[in-house]
Structures are given as structure tokens and as C-alpha cells.
A and B are shown apart, each in its own frame.
Chain A
Amino acid sequence: MADKTFLDSTELVLNMGPQHPSTHGVLRVILKLDGEKIMGTDCVIGYLHRGVEKIAENRTYAMFAPYVDRMDYVAAVSNGLGYCLAVEKLLSVEAPPRAQVTRVILTELNRIASHLLWLGTHALDIGATTPLFYVMREREEILNIFEKYCGARLTTHAFRIGGLQYELYEGFEEDTLRFCDWFLPRVDEYEELLTENRIWVDRLKGVGILDAEDCKAYGVTGPVLRAAGVEWDLRRAQPYSGYEQYEFKIPTGQNGDTYDRYLVRMEEMRQSVRIIRQAVERIEPGPIMAKVPKVIKPPVGEVYVSIEAPKGELGYFIVSDGSTQPYRVRVRPPSFVNLQALDKMARGGLFADIVAIIGTFDIVLGEIDR
């Protein structure tokens, strides 16, 4: 129509491009804005797609384990645990108790490391620059323990199919317990910095509400589901690797908003320390590797095993055709499924909230794109 110019339109399409400091990786979000209010979002992903599932079809089972670490590179140990558990289920072997206890300790340390990084980057996005440096200091201690144990800090390749490769080094228990004692007051420090702070509360309370019904409909798991009030944790519901022996609380929230997710993750860090302390007492001497054949050839079949990764339910669906290479490995990434709910959470909010919402999901693009 002749009279209408582009100044008359009220809807603005803005591209929050793949290179952006707040998108936690290469995530592109196309926003439809009406002034400051968000009318709709559209996520474009795939910038980090490396074809891990296709690679899996050309590698043997043991060779594929290092690739698995590179998906969720922040919490590499959990990825390795899920994969090893899935292949062990196909082979019907179980890791010996000493290996299981060590796996639990390393996985919980990993969970603390992942939540710490989440806290640092999320706070940085909101504007609080101090927590980032403090969490890096804590992460240094954890990564030092990983390095002393398996030789690498981030892409650990810590677990092997059937158990562990490396024996626990001298002083592992002391290091871990010293870390736990040193770490718990630090969580209180972060709470002192952030929890009562009026800027923090104003930015996070009431933002990005996702209630329990929507969580279940969208298949969202992990701390996001727990903050909505559903007390469900795969470590309690379907325990693996000896988790039924440990006592821990499952923190839940009430409103399902960003502030509750923050509180849930802080409490999870404390509960992880509790689990680590219980696990260190259960270390007993014994073998670290189960009887697994040199050449791993599982029988024909398919299996789906999932674990509670720091981000949600990480699942591995492995189809074997009886040869040394898997026929199909499907990784069910928690961040991929969680990110679908971004549209629901962001609609109706302000533009500044998008940054808070992306941060609160705790997404890792390596996992989403694989």
C-alpha cells in the first residue's frame, strides 16, 4: 500500500548472531521484537556440527570414547560415564566396586565444575563480573585433580569400557577431601555475593517461568525441571554405578523461574560435596577393570542408557550388529531438548531477559550440535 512505509511497522527482526558473548557458544537466535518486548524467537543451531554420530560408525567401541568427551566439553567425564555404561550394558558386564566408587567421585567433581562454570558465565551475562574469577579459581583445583588422575583437564577420557584404566594416584583421597573442605565455604561466599543482592533478584525473579506441566510437555530435564517443583533425578529414580548407596537431597524450587534455577544449582553443588565425602569413605582395595575381552564385540542388539548429566538427562542409544564397530550411536543431548523451551519462556519478556534465559538453561553448543 502506498501510504505505509517501513517506519509504520512495529515488529523488528533482530539477529543475535552466532558470534555473541552471551550465547554461550555459537548459537544464533532470531528475535522478533516489538520495542523491547519479545514476540517470538527462532533458534538456528548447527554451527558446531561435527558429525560425531557418523564418526561413531567408523570407529571401534573403545576408539570412540575420546570423541564422546568433546560433545559436552565442560562436563566431559559425565559423557564418558554414559557411554561406558551403555557399552557395558550391551556386554552385560559391570565395573568392579572400586571402579564404580571412583567413577562416582569423578562424576560429582565434574558436576561441581560444570555448575561453577555455569555460575560464572551466567553471572557475567547478567553483569556481575566478580563471580567469574572466583569460579575459575575453584575449577582450577578440580581440574588439577583430574589432571593428576588421568592426564588431561578438559577432555579427560577418564573411563574405559569395563572400569578404569588408571589406578588412583597417591593422595587422591586427601586431595579430594581437602578440596571439599575448602570448597563449601566458597559456595556460601557466592551466595553472599548474589542471593540477596537486589540487582540479582530483580533481574532473575519472575523471568523465564516454565512450570511443571510445560517442562514435561517439552521434555525438559535437569535443574530446569527440578526448579519447577518436580522432584525427579535419574540418580534416585534409576540409579547407576552404585548411586543407591549414597544419601543426598534433591533440591527443588517452587516457581520455575530463573532465580529458582540458580538456587537449585547452588544446592546441587553442596549435595555433590556430600556425595563425594560419602564416596571417599567407600573406596576399598580391589580390581579396577572387569573381565572385558580385548576386542569388544557385543552381541546383536540395541540398548538405551541414560545418566543424570549436570545439564539434564544424557542418553546413549547404541545399536550393535555384532561387529567391532557400532552400527548406530545416538546421543540424546539434554541441552538440545531443553533449548526447545526457549520460545515458550522468552515470549512476553523483555529483551534483556533473553540473555538471562539462555544463561539459565546452561547450554553447551558442543552437545547440541554434536
Chain B
Amino acid sequence: MADEQKPAPPKPPAGAAKAPPPPAVMAATPWEGELPSVLREQFGGAILECSTYLGQPFIRVTPGTVVPILDFLKFEMEFDYLVDVTAVDYPKREERFDLVYIVYSFARNERIRVVTRIQDGFRPESAVCVHLTANWLEREVYDMFGIEFANHPDLRRILMPDDWQGHPLRKDYNILQMDQRWVQENLGIESGQ
């Protein structure tokens, strides 16, 4: 699969430093079909992109419309099973986190990813009112990334101890440093890592 490059920036004058190459993007192809057109009709400009990659369709939406879209998908289009809620951290981007919801429909046997980009500090709406599964899945996203969900019934850490500082899966969380710090504070010796 060839990488699609964004159009190269204009060449700087000779003698200046060479501009860094633009980051490669996913070679996604636009997704046409009944579902994207119904979604575009219903939500209009909130749907920023409908594409598919390797046969797996996904839509990119604005952060505020995720829960209404999940609600619409569940009640109108029969996507009644929330498979996963997860996040990806791109620290160099302005909108740091990529929040991903994967939904599946038993009746249609199809899976869709709903992706949205949010900033550090933004509090997205919790999907628990639509899908009950989202309870622990969002707790894990909060624990690992620090994304707080508004109106979540019980938002606390799930995998790390309750009084842990820091969010492990962020890219600026250095495991070795944290390990040394914890061992120094609690055991008073040098960590052997």
C-alpha cells in the first residue's frame, strides 16, 4: 500500500535549512454507501470524514456529536453493540488525543469506527447513557490517558492504584523515570532497571 503524501511545502530559498518531510497519512479511500449518506443527512457538518481503510469503514466527527451519533446508530441503524472505547495519543498535534469508538451491528454484521479528535483538558460526554458497556471502558481510558468523561456515573481509576499520579499510556510518561521515582520514595533504594 503506498503512502499518500500531503503536497510538499514550497521550497525554502537556498542556504536555509531543509524543511522536515510532512508526516505520512493513512491511505484511506472515501466511503460511499447508504450509511454515510444517511449520517450526513442527519448530522450534516459534524461528520468531517467518511472513509474506509483495508475494508474497515470509519467516520471522523466533531467531539460534541459523538454521543448523539452513537445514539442514532444504536436506535435507528441497529448498531447495538459497543465493542470498544479507546484512545491514541499524538503529543505533537494540537488536538492531542484520538478517541475511538467501535460499534458493531448484529443484524447487519458490520463494524464501524467513530473517531474524534480532542484536546488535552476537554471533557467529552460519556457514552454510558447509550451503551452500558462504556462504563469500564471509559474508566480505563481515563486511567490510562487522563481523559475525563462528563456525566460518567463512577469515574475513578480502574487498573492503576487509586492514588497513582500520572497517566501511563501518554507518550510523555517515561516508565523508567516513574519506576525510579517510586522505588526511591517508597523503598529508599536504587531501582535495578
The answer to whether B111 and A302 touch across the interface, beta carbons within 8 angstroms, is no
Residue in A closest to B173 when the chains form the complex, CB atoms: A54
Q: Does B16 contact A (CB under 8 A)?
A: no
Q: How far is the CB of B84 from chain A (nearest CB, A)?
A: 5
Contact of A299 among B3, B86, B140, B173 (CB under 8 A): B3
Neighbouring B residues of A303 by C-beta, 8 Å: 53-54, 56
Kindly identify, within residues 272 to 325 of chain A, every residue whose CB is under 8 Å from any CB belonging to chain B.
299-304, 306, 313, 315, 317, 319, 321-322
Cα-based distance from A302 to B25 in the complex (angstroms): 11
- Stretch among B36-44, B129-137, B181-189 lining the A interface: B129-137
The number of residues on chain A lying at the interface, defined by a beta carbon within 8 Å of a beta carbon of chain B, is 40
Partner of B86 from the list A46, A219, A330 (CB cut-off 8 Å) is: A330
- Do the beta carbons of B88 and A319 come within 8 Å of each other? yes
B-contact bits for A158-195, CB 8 A (1 contact / 0 none)? 00000000000000000000000000000000000000
- Give B103 Cβ to nearest chain A Cβ, in Å: 10
A224–B20 alpha-carbon span in the complex (Å) = 52
The answer to whether B19 has its CB under 8 Å from any CB of chain A is no
Separation of A107 and B10 alpha carbons in the complex (Å): 54
- Tell me whether A300 and B24 are in contact (CB under 8 A): yes
B83 touches A219 (CB 8 A): yes
Complex Cα distance A279/B173, Å?
46
Q: B62-70, B118-126, B157-165: which lies at the A interface?
A: B157-165
B26 on the A face (CB < 8 A): yes
Contact status of A301 and B26, CB under 8 A, knowing A92-B1, A332-B83, A340-B135? yes
A300–B27 alpha-carbon span in the complex (Å): 7
Knowing A216-B106, A218-B133, A327-B88, the reply to whether A315 touches B83 (Cβ < 8 A) is yes
Residues of chain B contacted by A90 (CB below 8 angstroms): 54
Which of A25-33, A69-77, A230-238 is found at the contact surface with chain B?
Answer: A230-238
CA separation between A338 and B89, bound complex, in Å?
A: 26
- Given contacts A303-B53, A303-B56, A330-B86, whether A54 and B81 have CB atoms under 8 Å apart is no
User: A92-B1, A237-B109, A304-B56 in contact; A219/B159 too (CB < 8 A)?
Assistant: no
Interface contacts (Cβ under 8 Å), in number, total: 102
Chain A CB within 8 A of B46 CB: no
Determine the residue in chain A with the shortest Cβ distance to B175: A54
Closest to A237 in B: B109
Which A residues are in CB contact (< 8 Å) with B53?
Answer: 301-303
Answer yes or no: B61 CB below 8 A from chain A CBs.
no
- B106 contacts A232, CB within 8 Å? yes
Cβ-based interface call for B155 (8 A): no
- Whether A46 contacts B159 by the Cβ 8 Å rule is yes
Does B71 sit within 8 A of A, measured CB to CB?
no
| Interchain nearest-CB distance for B101 vs A (Å) | 11
Counting CB contacts under 8 A, is A211 at the interface?
no
**Would you give the shortest CB distance from A368 to chain B, in whole angstroms?**
9
Task: Name the residue of chain A whose CB is nearest to the CB of B106.
Answer: A232
Complex partner residue of A219 from B28, B56, B81, CB under 8 angstroms: B81
Measured between beta carbons, the chain A residues less than 8 angstroms from B89 are 328
Contacts of A340 in B (CB 8 A): 132-133, 135-136
- Among residues of B, the one whose C-beta sits closest to the C-beta of A306 is B83
Contact assessment for B102 and A218 in the assembled complex, using a CB-CB cutoff below 8 Å: no
A216–B54 CB distance below 8 A = no
Highest count of chain A CB atoms <10 Å: which of B28, B89, B136: B136
Contact of A216 among B80, B86, B88 (CB under 8 A): B80
Query: A219 contacts B131, CB within 8 Å?
Result: yes
Say yes or no: is B168 at the interface (Cβ < 8 Å to chain A).
yes
Does B113 belong to the interface (CB within 8 Å)?
yes
B114 on the A face (CB < 8 A): no
Chain A residues whose CB sits within 8 angstroms of the CB of B86 once the complex forms:
317, 330, 332
Least distance between B21 CB and chain A CB atoms (Å) = 11
> Contact: B24 with A322, CB < 8 Å?
yes
CB–CB B159/A301 < 8 A: no
| Pairs across A and B, CB under 8 Å, 7 listed | A45-B158, A54-B173, A217-B132, A217-B133, A304-B84, A317-B86, A330-B86
5 interchain residue pairs of minimum CB distance: A219-B133, A46-B159, A301-B26, A299-B1, A49-B159
